[in-house]
Structure 1
Amino acid sequence: MPAVMNAGKERGAGPDPRRWWALSALVASMLVLGFDMTILNVALPTMAAQLGASTGEQQWMADSYVIVFAALMLPGGLLGDRFGRRSMLVAGLGLFMAGSAVGVLVHSVPPVIAARAVMGLGGALMMPLAMAVIPTLFGPEERPKAVGAIAAASALGLPLGPIVGGWLLDHFWWGSVFLINIPMAGIGILACLFLLPESRDPAAPRVDAISAALTGTGLGALVYGITEAPSRGVADPLVLGAVAAAVALVAALVRRDRRARRPMLDVALLADRGFLLNTLAATLVMFVLSGLMFVLTPYLQAVLRYDAFGTGLRMLPLMGGMIVAAKGAQPLVARFGARGVMSAGLTVLAFAAFLGSRTGAVPHHLQGVGATPTGYGFTALWLSVAGLGAGFTVVPAMDAALGALPADRAGSGSGLMLTLRQMGSALGIALLGSLLAGAFRDRLDVTGLPAPAAGQAGESVVAAHLVAARAGAERLAASADAAYVHGMNLVLLVCGGVALVTALLAAALLTGPAGVRPGPGGPRGGPRPAGDMAAAQVDGRE
């Protein structure tokens, strides 16, 4: 418990010599979470082919994790505070491992969706608690290094996910992208049990299970309505009912949290213009990136015919651009202010998306059956530019959002911002994936195919290629490629429009060079460095 550990330190007890080994286990856990944010993207085309998954089912395989993660991340942190951070971290790792084990063993789409949801539950415990146990291991001098190591592990997992996933898929079956999680989670459990001290906060507020349920069901209902719209039609009663239910559930959540003395999601913070606009910018970048990655991997695998490992490697320009820009953002913010850097980053992201929307319709081996192909070199170009734009936006936006709040509200603001970013990811996959599915189905030429085969071909570009291979219909395969690229280009146009509108809003509505409202001292005077804010939150000062 914290009281026991602090008393020991006051009596002159030295730091735990095993603390760096414990940190290694936490780093491995965060690396697994980083993997899982991107590893499934490269696996979806393979899973679609072997499981017969439609585009909508692929959306659910990706979104089930994100929805549960977004709804339960804040309650997960509170559970650790009340019942023991080590215990809940072990529980999170156990759930993540159990969900991965189910993913390894199943052979149909619904159990995969369920497995991903269980993994999201585990991740919702792991993410906040891995940071929360840092103060029990490290003093103020070592704490920034520990925080940086965990943050770096999570960031490193993003580019490694597609590469590791691609290599596994080229050598093993699709379940291997789940299998890799099991030994790493198992090692994390053992390390937590033997190396981490238990800690809790007896004064922590109770978990608001009703708010968590409203968040999860509201977001889930909205995603369901959006995902089903391309196949059922926008006016379908089930689609309209799901969207109406989502609106009602979210409204109930807002009413409940406004009346609560200590709300789980403090939506009143959105009344601050600086916090709202900066959080909106960070959320919309996640919306764009999640949708972009969802539509990109089928293009690389099904249209350009790269294998899974080659696809993972070819997604590196996006990740590389993000990492480079994130590293270089802080000096630019110090010189030009967060508002200028954010607006420029969003404009660059919009330019990249508009550039990508000029992608040709068919690869080289099918020339003569459609528009002139552009090849991967063009894709690498706009991916790199998109990564730079995203990186130059997210870091300043997150810093400025928290800098717009009083110090005693920064903790609540951080939780709300992280939750909204996850919601942005879920909605990006749902909305942009549905736009792609509808455009693909409308553009695909299934003339001459029997009705069952035509219906199967319209489910996804992978399914269309399978039907074409069975029927020996090369023209159907070419039509599928052209239809998919048409849908992808529409998605990129929407992404560009969203980024450009957000850039204009940021430039017009954010006040001051820092993008926050000026105020008398404290965080409102401007954004603080990300490392300082992270250390402050981990230290319990915010």
Structure 2
Amino acid sequence: MTTAAAPRRVPEAIHRRRWAILCTLVLALLVVVLDNSILNVAMKTIATPAPVGLGATQSDLEWSINSYTLVFAGLLFTSGLLGDRFGRKLALLTGMVVFGVASLLSSMSGSPGELIGYRGLMGVGAALAMPATLAIIMNVFEREEQPKAIGIWAGAVGLAIAIGPITGGVLIEHFWWGSVFLINVPIVIVAVIAMAILVPESKDPDPGALDPVGVLLSIVGLVALIYGIIKGGELADFTAFAAWGPTLLGVVALAAFVLYERRIPFPALDVTWFRNKVFSASVVVVGVIFFALMGVSFFGVFYIQSVRGYSALQAGLLMLPLAVAQLLFAPRARLVVERLGVAATAAGGMVLVALGFVGYTVLTATTPIWVLIVLGLVMGTGMAHVMPPVTVAIMGSLPREKAGAGSAVNNTFRQVGGSLGVAVLGAVLSTVYRDGMSDTLTHLPEGLRDKAGESLEATLAIADRLPNGAGKALIAPANDAFIHAMHVVAALSVGISLVGALVAWFLLPRRAAAPAAGPGGPGAPEQQDRAREAAAAEA
């Protein structure tokens, strides 16, 4: 006796082209994520006076990164809601066009101020596109294929983080600094054409009434919170009012957002989602792993280039093992989940990430470079077994018609965690480095002493300008002080990663979560089928 196949929830025409759709979404993801990492290797060139660069100051350079991060993180949640309400394909296409135009304008910037402004506009485009990619995946793949598709999606994020510095290094060596932005334009054009042809439209069939107050509170809260975190890291002092003032405002606004959302009939975010242990634990794990991993990207580049003397291109190549491991293992993480369960897979991945950080605590100025390659492979393998299962857990615990909001929450926690990691771990790195160099810099004039103590790069820059080779005496102590500071930050990252492992082990499900039927939690399969069929019909 044969059993009839389960009816397909996704229309046949969309089902047939699902992998081509995924390729276009990965292309969008690559260009959005790659852009943030590609800029890092262009910093020195942009700081060079015109006509080679823009003559940007250290503060200008920081805000050329921070303006993108601030706008991106602040608008992620709102953009996910807009996609659910007005159409995810529309949000994706609009975001990509805005991103492409802003990239072109960034490449032609005539001053640091223009670059900062255009980078903020790029953040608007990225915020519109990013949540839509994951939401569309949830609407074009059947549930049994979603873990594999999300694994490829997660692997693409790791690949973009790694190939960014390589691409940037090649472009800077052969072209002008603006080429790191101009490279986005042809990719965006190809992606937009492919998306217009292949990607189906989908939206929430019953979005409810608009919630302008909730949306405004979420934007104010996220922007103020991220700004305060960034400012604290920039000042290396979270007790300064410029840091804690905006942070407090952000916390208050987000608290008001939660209270307001609980009291209205059609909230922008159904806060009862967070009563779901799986949903809450998963977003916490996402935030924790990006908090820790942004630390290695922060100090790893300086260790490789400044301490070890490798070029920007070589530094990018040394990041490839981390990306290759993610690319290989992320799409296959579902097989480990099927065998061991979500909790064991994610917790094991976090432990591997922690082991990678343990390796960083013993690096010296002469450690064989193959050790870095091994550490990259270990950490990439760990991350590949964390991101796909927790992302599947987040999206699987929500109804399909709320995929945009779920994706936005996932990406928001990731961005906030990453920003916290850069700010907090960066502040620790700066403070420990400054303390380690305080005795060595006592013979310098006071103005130079303060400047040289800011960072390893600042010390080396001043060492180059000192007459009669006097700066050579600063190089070895500077390297030693930086390595010690790196060890401290890596040790903190070990502890943070292990906290994430405990959260995953005790709070994530032993097996894959069952799909939710409607806002707020589980329901009858028939209800979910009707909701999903209605969402698919919008396509």
The structural deviation recorded for 1:496 is 0.7
Alpha-carbon RMSD across the aligned residues, in angstroms, is 4.2
What is the rounded CA distance, in whole Å, between the counterparts of 1:430 and 1:315 in structure 2? 21
DSSP-derived class of the 1:305 partner: coil
Map of 1:368 onto structure 2: none
Asked if 1:76 is matched to 2:79, the reply is yes
Is the CA contact (8 Å cut-off) linking 1:346 and 1:503 kept in structure 2? Answer: yes
Map of 2:482 onto structure 1: 484
Asked if 1:292 is matched to 2:293, the reply is no
DSSP-derived class of the 2:441 partner: coil
Cα gap change, 1:519/1:18 in structure 2, threshold over 3 Å: closer, same or farther? closer
What is the rounded CA distance, in whole Å, between the counterparts of 2:207 and 2:404 in structure 1? 13
What is the rounded CA distance, in whole Å, between the counterparts of 1:275 and 1:61 in structure 2? 34
Q: Tell me the TM-score normalized by structure 1.
A: 0.79
What is the rounded CA distance, in whole Å, between the counterparts of 1:315 and 1:419 in structure 2? 25
The structural deviation recorded for 1:73 is 2.9
DSSP-derived class of the 1:493 partner: helix
Is the CA contact (8 Å cut-off) linking 2:64 and 2:116 kept in structure 1? Answer: yes
DSSP-derived class of the 2:39 partner: helix
Map of 1:499 onto structure 2: 497
**Count of aligned pairs:** 506
Asked if 1:433 is matched to 2:432, the reply is no
Asked if 1:309 is matched to 2:313, the reply is yes
What is the rounded CA distance, in whole Å, between the counterparts of 1:436 and 1:16 in structure 2? 49
Cα gap change, 1:380/1:65 in structure 2, threshold over 3 Å: closer, same or farther? same
Match of 2:382 among 381, 389, 402: 389
What is the rounded CA distance, in whole Å, between the counterparts of 1:282 and 1:177 in structure 2? 29
What is the rounded CA distance, in whole Å, between the counterparts of 2:496 and 2:136 in structure 1? 38
What is the rounded CA distance, in whole Å, between the counterparts of 1:34 and 1:377 in structure 2? 27
Is the CA contact (8 Å cut-off) linking 1:59 and 1:433 kept in structure 2? Answer: no
Cα gap change, 1:485/1:134 in structure 2, threshold over 3 Å: closer, same or farther? closer
DSSP-derived class of the 1:446 partner: helix
Asked if 1:221 is matched to 2:214, the reply is no
- CA displacement, residues 211-237 of structure 1 (integer Å, 9 cap, x when unaligned): 444334333333333344463744333
Cα gap change, 1:478/1:224 in structure 2, threshold over 3 Å: closer, same or farther? farther
DSSP-derived class of the 2:444 partner: coil
- CA displacement, residues 134-157 of structure 1 (integer Å, 9 cap, x when unaligned): 899x8989x989999877765643
Asked if 1:275 is matched to 2:279, the reply is yes
The structural deviation recorded for 1:200 is 6.8
Is the CA contact (8 Å cut-off) linking 2:349 and 2:384 kept in structure 1? Answer: yes
The structural deviation recorded for 1:356 is 0.7
Asked if 1:66 is matched to 2:69, the reply is yes
The structural deviation recorded for 1:96 is 0.9
Is the CA contact (8 Å cut-off) linking 1:67 and 1:422 kept in structure 2? Answer: no
Cα gap change, 1:109/1:157 in structure 2, threshold over 3 Å: closer, same or farther? same
Is the CA contact (8 Å cut-off) linking 2:429 and 2:486 kept in structure 1? Answer: yes
Match of 2:171 among 165, 168, 172: 168
Cα gap change, 1:358/1:43 in structure 2, threshold over 3 Å: closer, same or farther? farther
Map of 1:3 onto structure 2: none
What is the rounded CA distance, in whole Å, between the counterparts of 1:198 and 1:524 in structure 2? 25
- 5+ residue gaps, structure 2, are 1-10, 523-528
Cα gap change, 1:419/1:266 in structure 2, threshold over 3 Å: closer, same or farther? farther
- CA displacement, residues 427-485 of structure 1 (integer Å, 9 cap, x when unaligned): 22222222222222332332322233233323332232221111140122333322322
Match of 1:377 among 353, 370, 375: 370
Worse-superposed segment, 328-337 or 447-456: 447-456
What is the rounded CA distance, in whole Å, between the counterparts of 1:28 and 1:286 in structure 2? 22
What is the rounded CA distance, in whole Å, between the counterparts of 1:404 and 1:90 in structure 2? 27
Cα gap change, 1:215/1:291 in structure 2, threshold over 3 Å: closer, same or farther? farther
The structural deviation recorded for 1:500 is 1.0
The structural deviation recorded for 1:205 is 4.6
What is the rounded CA distance, in whole Å, between the counterparts of 1:188 and 1:270 in structure 2? 35
Q: 1:112-191 counterparts in 2 under 5 A? A: 112-130=115-133, 156-189=159-192
Q: Tell me the TM-score normalized by structure 2.
A: 0.79
Q: 1:21-36 counterparts in 2 under 5 A? A: 28-36=27-35
Asked if 1:456 is matched to 2:451, the reply is yes
- CA displacement, residues 317-342 of structure 1 (integer Å, 9 cap, x when unaligned): 22122233323422222112111122
Match of 1:399 among 388, 392, 401: 392
- CA displacement, residues 284-314 of structure 1 (integer Å, 9 cap, x when unaligned): 1122222321221122122212111111101
The structural deviation recorded for 1:181 is 1.0
What is the rounded CA distance, in whole Å, between the counterparts of 1:288 and 1:108 in structure 2? 34
Give aligned-pair identity as a percent.
Answer: 34
Cα gap change, 1:66/1:234 in structure 2, threshold over 3 Å: closer, same or farther? closer
Map of 2:240 onto structure 1: 236
Q: 1:189-228 counterparts in 2 under 5 A? A: 189=192, 204-205=207-208, 208-228=211-231
The structural deviation recorded for 1:238 is 2.6
Partner amino acid for 2:34? F
What is the rounded CA distance, in whole Å, between the counterparts of 2:111 and 2:445 in structure 1? 25
What is the rounded CA distance, in whole Å, between the counterparts of 2:160 and 2:236 in structure 1? 37
Cα gap change, 1:412/1:324 in structure 2, threshold over 3 Å: closer, same or farther? same
Map of 2:7 onto structure 1: none
- 5+ residue gaps, structure 1, are 1-9, 363-372, 526-531
What is the rounded CA distance, in whole Å, between the counterparts of 1:377 and 1:16 in structure 2? 44
What is the rounded CA distance, in whole Å, between the counterparts of 2:150 and 2:243 in structure 1? 43
Asked if 1:359 is matched to 2:363, the reply is yes
Cα gap change, 1:407/1:185 in structure 2, threshold over 3 Å: closer, same or farther? closer
Is the CA contact (8 Å cut-off) linking 2:433 and 2:485 kept in structure 1? Answer: yes
Map of 1:263 onto structure 2: 267
What is the rounded CA distance, in whole Å, between the counterparts of 1:222 and 1:139 in structure 2? 35
Is the CA contact (8 Å cut-off) linking 2:397 and 2:516 kept in structure 1? Answer: no
Is the CA contact (8 Å cut-off) linking 2:152 and 2:331 kept in structure 1? Answer: no
Asked if 1:514 is matched to 2:516, the reply is no
Worse-superposed segment, 216-225 or 474-483: 216-225
What is the rounded CA distance, in whole Å, between the counterparts of 1:503 and 1:201 in structure 2? 34
